[in-house]
Chains A and B, each alone.
Chain A
Amino acid sequence: MNNKLYDTLEICLQALENGDSVDTILTRYPDLESELRPILEAAQQAHAMPAPMPSPEAMRRGKARLLQQAAEMREAKRPTRGRQRVIPLFQRLAISLSLTVAALMGGTGLVQASSTALPGENLYPVKRTWEDMRLLFVFSPTVREAMEGEYEQERLDEVSELLREGRVVSITFSGVVTESTASSIVVSTVPVALTNATTFSGDPLTVGAAVIVTGQTDSAGHVSAMAVQVLPPGSVVPTGENDESEKPSTVNDNSGGSVPSTNENESQDENESDTPKKDTFHIEGTVQSVDGNVWIIDGQTVYVNDPALLALVKAGMQVEVRGYFTADGRFIVTQVEIKNSGSDRTGTNPSNNSDSSDDETNANQNDNSNDDNSSNDNSSDDGENKNENKNENENKNENDNSSNGNDNENSNGNESHD
């Protein structure tokens, strides 16, 4: 019954909505008129209740308030977003770092295995790539330069190893030309054969020049050069192995008592700070010019850092100088032997030389003239003595003199130690 009433009411409400009057509607449901009439009249009044529109001012105000609220929410949201970003960023960094460490740790075995690889071997690219990677992460110019020098030395060592093993491999290395003939050169202890096919570039090829050699090792123990590029002065290249620099000289005829051994590895000048390699080389020839501490001997420019040596040599003298090449390819003179001064000085007496050469000579002379121990004093003792500083040399001379009770040798180079 109620359901019928509710359903009929709904039909009546729709009719009312469509504009029918209550009386008209009720004529359709005479049996329900008593129940429906008050309901429909109430509905008519409920429908007639005013429904004004909001004022534009209120709408504007409400919207402004809402947008202000949104702006505040955006402001409040910003730090939250920042924190949310920081965490993923940190996580990304942590993950990247972990992966990098894992890769490096995982690759350590391979890299270590490749550390002794030589050109032509399977692991050699790993070795070179590892070197490049290390350089990639070095930002200090000084450290980077040192590492590059280390790697250049490594190239030189590789070539030496290949030559020892007699392998035939294409190589490229750099070094200083220490000897030069028409058909060969020696580059930082590595013998290099020059052929008609060898191409040259850069400055003229001279002893002391820094060069890059591209060629092939052969079983004969030398490198057949395909290209030799002479680098500009000041280029940093390795000068050769220095492992033997501590070895005492082994060759010494000692007959004249004045000529030190040839090509021995001597530590010549402790005052020379830029002497990474102290292999001793000698140049013999005529002094073409003397300009301050720069001499030119048969076309080869040499540098003299010891003031005591500067006074000894004049242009036109026939000399034999000994010294070493610095990392930048300069030849530093540490000993001078005047072969023919063209003056009152006799050429073979190097007694006025300074530094270790003085001591060496003094020692020789002391030995020869006064000491009856042996004629080989300068073999080992002198070798050690050469590694001492000037004061020590002086002391040794004094000791020698005092023990001999002979001061006639004090006229030698001791006074040159200013």
Chain B
Amino acid sequence: MSNYDERRALEGLQKLDSQAISAVYDQYYPEVFRYVYYRLSDQALAEDIASDVFVRLLEAVQNRRGPQSNIKGWLISTASHAVTDHLRQRYRRPVEAISETHMDHQPGPPIEFDLREQNRSVQQAYAQLTSEQQHVLALRFGEGYSLEETAAHMKKNVNAVKALQFRALAALQRQIGEVPHE
């Protein structure tokens, strides 16, 4: 972490330097993965999409459309678009209910089972939110961004983010109440 230099990393990406690419990947992949997972609640899918995001980074830098300074912001933003694209495709071609495919059905102790059930209902409720609401909650609760960081990332003012997160949490609460309990 201490050896990581954002400016050198960008120069290395431009030159397709393997060391710099590896450093950027090691530095940011977990955060990108976490964000995607928060949005989709699917480990394998989150790993694939996160991996795609880094390939897009490489291509963008080579085409001079990449980040100028904030690599992490660019990665999260691209991950957000990638998730949105994925969700659109899934909505167009629904295959299975999320509960059937992505939820953890491994047997375990009753307490853990309750917890998993609770998480499942929250995830189902979360999946019903708008993309922007999902995004603000993922940033604030998944990535741990502050209000100001979230505002900067979403290119909104702080008050707009305050209102957005309020509405997102209210919507989530409503959806949780509507999720059928087994």
Contacts and interface: CB of A to CB of B under 8 A. Distances in A.
A6 B159 contact: yes
A46 B137 contact: yes
Interface string A22-52: 0000000000000000110111011111111
A397 to B, nearest CB: 91
A46 B46 contact: no
B47 A51 contact: no
Interface residues on B, range: 35 or more
A138 interface: no
Main secondary structure of the interface of B (DSSP, over half): helix
Nearest to A66: B54
Given A51-B38, A62-B25, A63-B22, A42 B172 contact: yes
A54 interface: yes
B18 interface: yes
A66 B51 contact: yes
Contacts, number: 113
Nearest to A41: B173
B16 interface: yes
A83 interface: no
A49 B119 contact: yes
B37 A38 contact: no
Given A6-B162, A39-B169, A66 B21 contact: yes
Contacts of A48: 119, 122
Main secondary structure of the interface of A (DSSP, over half): helix
Interface residues on A, range: 35 or more
B118 A45 contact: yes
Contacts of A164: none
B162 A69 contact: no
A59 interface: yes
Contacts of A5: 166
A9 B162 contact: yes
B50 interface: yes
Contacts of A38: 170, 173
A46 B126 CA distance: 8
A6 B163 contact: yes
Contacts of B18: 67, 70
A75 to B, nearest CB: 10
A58 interface: yes
B13 to A, nearest CB: 9
B97 interface: no
Interface of A: 2-3, 5-7, 9-10, 13, 38-39, 41-43, 45-55, 58-59, 61-63, 65-67, 69-70, 73-74, 77
